[in-house]
Amino acid sequence: MTTTATIEADPNLPIIRTTRDFRATPAQLMRAHLDPELYARWVGPHDITTVLDEWDARTGGSWRMRNVRGDEEYSFHGSFHDVTADRIVQTFTWDAMPESVSLETLWFEDLGDGRTRLHAQSLVDSFEGRDGWLESGMEVGVNDGYAKLDELLEAGKV
């Protein structure tokens, strides 16, 4: 089972694709991505605290969050465009770069035997924007966050 995320840039489109396997059901992973208390506990690098200022995880809903590290604070916002039993489509905007909005789609593939593969696709505004995300150290935040999610799953908290 893969315990680190595979993060790949599409060579023809400004898209980042992320794949990661979990010892969890699709329903558990959906809950972890939609329940505000759970989401705030696992998302992002180990050295940040996530504060959800707004979280309306339904089709047509919106969200706003802050990542806090010491005296540093980074804020983000977006909208939930479509939330179904096995897929989430949302926008993601870093407030420091409001002109750069990504469209993210997450879906969950049931692998059987209590395992699920998460697929995520982020369409950004340009190849430069995509490459900036990839060079920003996003893999640390993705992998740290998913490791925290693994811990919550193993402890039976999801």
Give the model confidence (pLDDT) of 77-135 as tens digits: 999 999 999 999 999 998 988 888 999 999 999 999 999 999 999 999 999 888 888 88
Residue 45 and residue 140 in contact, taking contact as beta carbons nearer than 8 Å: yes
Residue 1 has pLDDT above 80, yes or no: no
CATH superfamily of 6-154: START domain (3.30.530.20)
- Strands (E) across the chain are located at 6-9, 15-22, 49-55, 62-69, 72-83, 87-94, 101-112, 115-123
pTM score: 0.93
